[in-house]
Chains A and B, each alone.
Chain A
Amino acid sequence: MGNPAHLKAETSTRKRSAGDVDLPTKTTFDTHRSAAPHRLSKRATCTVPIRTALAVLAATTALVLTGLWVGNNVNMLPLDASSNAPTYDALFKVLFSIGTMLFLGIVILLVYSMFRFRRRAGDFSDGLAIEGNLPLEIVWTAIPAIVVLFVGIYSYDIYERMGGMVALNDHSAMDHMAMDHSVQQAQAPGRVWGGIGAAGMDAAPGGPVLPVEVTAMQFAFIFHYPDAQITSGELHVPTGQPVELHMEARDVIHAFWVPQFRLKQDVIPGQPTVLSFTATKAGTYPIVCAELCGPYHGGMRSNVVVHEPEAYDAWLQQNSPNRTTT
């Protein structure tokens, strides 16, 4: 279809779609014609046929059920080996379910529109001149707002259960920060800059907290057990006992990440951080550095070996420098 000459700007006149009138139209051109732009009246939205309403209801139900099924049955996560991993996985399932519903819903609507409302050959008319619909717009402002509010409150609850909201007081830090860094002495002693607090540390069933000092450097983690006077390149912990990592970096920023624990915390030079967890399943899991730290960043890995308590005691005995004196 050519461009009508009168649309050219010389006339300073604009004739909207005037050219369309001359062209053959075969579909419902006349019913779509309207003299003025209209927002759908309230009445128009209320006269949705029962059959359409039922179809929408059925489609929505199917969508919700599909989302719930996918969220609960498609496993995207590695083994859960710490006490907060199942909590994390519950959050993941909820997010995955809601995400699946929204994604599928929008994509199905889009693809349906693309086929249902595609332009037929020879039809050069315009679509309906609908410029808006206030009730509809309020609904789809409210839906994401409610979803986001629900997700926010739920994830806050999860975060609290993971111990994220426990204030990291100076007290717990002062006891265990023994690393003699000149940098750190320049800071207020024992200032801790954040991390994940211990989950229910006060009522910890696994007994007292096991403190471990973690030093990160290019390109290794070093673990020091202040009570047992053991220094190791691998982290050994027992199941069921809360562990508190007091971490600081020597050179650049690193990050301590155990995917099976669902926990990560940056290890920062000059700013000690804390990470607490309780391992639940015996096994060997990777410790991965997750912050770009130099050429060998990808090779900066270690292991956390989770023992049953008896095996852990045996490991302590074997490696303790005080072993011969006992």
Chain B
Amino acid sequence: MTLANPSDFNGSLQPQGWLRYFSFSLDHKVIGLQYLVCGFLFYLVGGALAGAIRTELVTPLSDFMPRDTYNEVLTLHGTVMIFLWIVPVVNGAFGNYLIPFYVGARDMAFPRLNAVAFWLIPPAGILLISSYFIAGAAAQSGWTAYPPLSLTTPAAGQVVWILSVLLLGGSSIFGGINFIATVLKLRRPGLKLMQLPMYCWAMLGTSILVVLSTPVLAGTLILLSFDIIAHTGFFNPALGGNVVVYQHLFWFYSHPAVYIMVLPAFGLVSEILPVHARKPLFGYTTMVYSIMAIVFLGLIVWAHHMFTSGTPPWMRLFFTIATSFIAVPTGIKFFNWLATLWGGKIALNSAMLFSCAFIVNFVFGGITGVALAQVPFDIHVHDTYFVVGHFHYIVYGGTVFVIFGSLYHWYPKFTGRLLNEDLGRLHFLLTFIGFNLCFAPQHWLGLNGMPRRVAEYDPTFTTLNQVSSVGALLMAISTIPLLINVVVTAINGKPAGDNPWNALTPEWLTSSPPPVENWIGEAPLVTEPYGYGQHQDQPQEVKA
């Protein structure tokens, strides 16, 4: 369509076969899978770090690793999981793979920018992790890097941390621009915005947040690096700097970052549920408006992370109200998903189990989130294990569950083979039980006096910490059936056919795996991606 040089795709410039996954490929499907596999490898790294944290917390004493190593581990765990696993996979992997299909294009709007965006990630990730070995010490001030702590901990590690987060932020911005351009400008002629699958809307909203807020984080971190390297005083109180200003700037990005991690998951679930429930997505229009409402509200709630930071009363009040109201558009989405399931013909396969568990987990995290938005409630539990429990219910119970569900749903599209359902259900069961065992007790710990980011704690909290660590162990074990499943079925899995789920969204209307440039001939015009249950008796001709 609008690609400059189609021969880039079919011609000799692009490597073929397995080698293309290690190349500077311009094919959005290859880039999507590069994001997915790269992200999953970093998930294993982040998971190992989480395992180290939970091992330290089995006993109330700091006895498993040195105290500053513990702070390095928790900093790397947060940074790796957010910037190298969740954001790249839920945006980059599924976004790149699916969005061109959904808008009826042959690739993303800017294929080269797309490849650059991906290839920033591996070096940034390796840089970040190697700071532990090369720079002498990795960053130790948490993924929030609050000054003055980040100014006083070993400088080399902190600077490397800033550098790699800047690279990853740049990658994220490139991706965001690409998604906005693709959704708005590369739509197949005749396809209207309000006919797009919901994931397009989710990615449009997410990308708006990425483009608006990530540059603020970049600017903030550059100022922070000046403070560290050039001894300027932007955030250094000894030089007249203001530490709370850093928190405002940081959270101006990092609260929207929550929606950058969660909105695409909402989109993916909206694709999975109708297919396996054999019903149209309920309330399409309200779903679109609620995504945009979340985008708008998500930009004006950042200071709820700072209720104890010496913010004035009026500010606390404003951010309480704004934050609470995010529950309204979010609630609409959950009721719509329930209504989508109601009266369906639900196939309880692995994709669906993970998606339904996402609803359970996210509703729990959403309810504790509304509670946390209330200033008086937050003042007690801020910076405690209650908050740790809450945000893991959002990003793990929410987004990571959706990533796994999506993997079972789209794996046949990626490979032409189905993942094994028995191993899938085992993976689901272990993940669901382990996750809840790990994070549910943390709410009680926080309410009763255990702060977050500690290597040692009051001995009265020992039992529940051990329960939590057992849950973490189960979560670690749960990756084994997943890995076996992916490897074994890639070699001799059950052939899936082109459309094993009889789905109506456009990515299934081509072969599995799809050809380069997605369609032989012109892309089909899909105006009703959720038209289940209609026209069952009379196959309807659709204009090409």
- Chain A residues engaging chain B, CB cutoff 8 angstroms: 1-3, 7-10, 12-21, 29, 32-37, 76-78, 87-88, 91-92, 95, 99, 102-103, 106-107, 109-110, 113-114, 117-120, 123-133, 136-137, 140-141, 143-145, 147-148, 151-152, 155-156, 158-159, 162, 164-167, 183, 186, 193-197, 251-253, 255, 257, 259, 262-266, 268-271, 273, 286, 288-299
Contacts and interface: CB of A to CB of B under 8 A. Distances in A.
Contacts of B285: 132
Contacts of A119: 278, 345-348
Contacts of B522: 12
B111 interface: no
Contacts of A132: 282-286
Given A7-B509, A15-B540, A164 B376 contact: yes
A153 to B, nearest CB: 10
A17 B542 CA distance: 13
B454 to A, nearest CB: 3
A123 B338 CA distance: 21
Given A110-B341, A130-B282, A141 B535 contact: no
Interface in B516-535: 519-526, 528, 530-535
Contacts of B364: 103
B533 A253 contact: no
B237 interface: yes
B206 to A, nearest CB: 22
Contact of A126 (B339, B345, B371, B443): B345
A292 B342 contact: no
A268 B308 CA distance: 10
Contacts, number: 372
Interface stretch (B32-40, B478-486, B497-505): B497-505
B62 interface: yes
A7 B499 contact: yes
B366 to A, nearest CB: 9
Given A8-B498, A102-B363, A194 B284 contact: no
Given A130-B279, A143-B331, A295-B67, A268 B343 contact: no
B334 interface: yes
Contact of B62 (A110, A130, A147, A298): A298
Contacts of B241: 270
Nearest to B153: A294
B382 interface: yes
A106 B536 contact: no
Nearest to A271: B310
25 contacts: A9-B509, A16-B531, A88-B380, A107-B360, A110-B360, A119-B346, A123-B345, A125-B278, A126-B533, A127-B344, A129-B534, A130-B282, A130-B339, A132-B286, A140-B331, A164-B316, A266-B310, A269-B237, A270-B240, A290-B383, A295-B66, A295-B67, A295-B71, A297-B451, A298-B67
